[in-house]
Amino acid sequence: MACALLALAVVQAPAAAGQPVLLDSPRIWTLRDLGYSDIFMPAGAGTAVYTNPQMPPHRYTDPVNYLLPDGAAQGPDVWYVIHFHFEIEFQEDTGEGEVTVYAMPNYHAVAMIDFSPVRRDGSLTVDWNSLGETEGWQHGTSDSRRVEMQFSNYFPNDGVVPGENALLFSVEEREGAKVAMLHVFDDTGIEVTPLSPPELGLEVDTDAGGPPADAGDTFEVPYTVRNLGGWPAKDVVTEVSYPEDALRLLGERSVTTPLIDGSQEISGSFAFEALSDGAHDIVLDAYGRTGGSASTAVTVTITVGERVSKVRLGLLVALVVGLSALPLVPYEKLRGLIRGRSQDG
């Protein structure tokens, strides 16, 4: 950080006397539980920190201090999740531009919500978007200068350390955007939970079904989608791609499941008609609003020869049709996509 300049005081209740509160049990620990009330940061207030001389500073609230147990870390048995409830108010004369509101444990971003005030037909509207592991990408538009938000996300690894920790809230204004007030409600909190982030896995049952040995036969590709994590995976889509000149899909190309709870699974299958002989790759993908994505593939080998009896066909199928599963594509954590998660400010 290049420098820090103290501006106006931030209005917030002081912490309770004595040591910071120890977060030692699974629950949501609110600001109120930690000895703090609502936090207000009006225009120009807070501690200004310049991380880039060419950019406006971040304005930080005073820290909310708390303790974590010895050996505290983000996973694999105990996880920390922010529940961020706030309202941002823009000044009446705000220009167009961008504002980012942050929640930052130990100066590492766990929440980054972007706002863009714009003038449409002479009226101010505010577009917003956010990205996190518990709800995925969210976006919307407000016709008011005040936008109230509730956001949750898993802490970055560097945001969890044993002993004393500090949670700060920050505003960054860019271009012509001007914020009148940031209001952090006292039901904002830190959840201690055994639930790991959602993570999708996908498998194909290569032993099930009856793959074809002749053009015109039908067969199925059974699959199972699992949530390998503990938090629910939401709006999960399972879809298939295949060579359309060689295979005909009998049914829909994709299936949507609204929710897969932690450690739960769903099963289904895609049915096909064989159109031509040869080795044909069928690729299955599963992805969700949360839970990331997974992919696998099977190769169906179809041999078309002389017509044989049903008995011989059964034997022929066993000999000439093979299904081979490819490794799962690793799920890349959403945390890694959130800009600045491992950078100060």
Return the pLDDT at 49.
77
Q: Alpha-carbon distance 98 to 172, whole Å?
A: 8
Return the pLDDT at 317.
30
Residue of 65, 14, 6, 52 whose CA lies nearest to 36: 14
Return the pLDDT at 120.
86
Domain boundaries defined on the chain: 3-194, 200-320
Return the pLDDT at 150.
97
Architecture of the CATH domain 200-320: Sandwich (2.60)
Report whether 202 contacts 293 (CB < 8 A): no
Q: Alpha-carbon distance 76 to 274, whole Å?
A: 45
Backbone phi, psi, residue 339, to 5°: -65, 140
Instruction: Supply the DSSP string of 198-245, one letter for each residue.
Output: P-EEEEE-TTSS---SSTT-EEEEEEEEEE-SSSPEEEEEEEEE--TT
The token duo for 138 is 């969210």
**What is the share, in percent, of the chain residues with pLDDT greater than 90?**
66
Q: Alpha-carbon distance 111 to 68, whole Å?
A: 20
pLDDT < 70 regions, the chain:
1-18, 50-52, 54-55, 207-215, 303-345
Q: Alpha-carbon distance 234 to 290, whole Å?
A: 5
7-44: b (≥16 Cβ within 10 Å) or e: beebbbeebeeeebbebeeeebbbbebbbbebbebbbe
Match 């974590």 to its residue by tokens. 68
The token duo for 150 is 């509730």
3 state SS of 98: strand
Angstrom CA distances, 274 to 84, 204, 279, 318, stand at 53, 19, 11, 16
**Fold of the 3-194 domain:** Jelly Rolls (2.60.120)
Longest dimension (CA), the chain: 89
Match 């971003």 to its residue by tokens. 109
> What is the pTM for the complete model shown?
0.80
Return the pLDDT at 211.
53
Q: Alpha-carbon distance 268 to 124, whole Å?
A: 48
CB atoms closer than 10 angstroms to residue 113: 21
The token duo for 66 is 């708390």
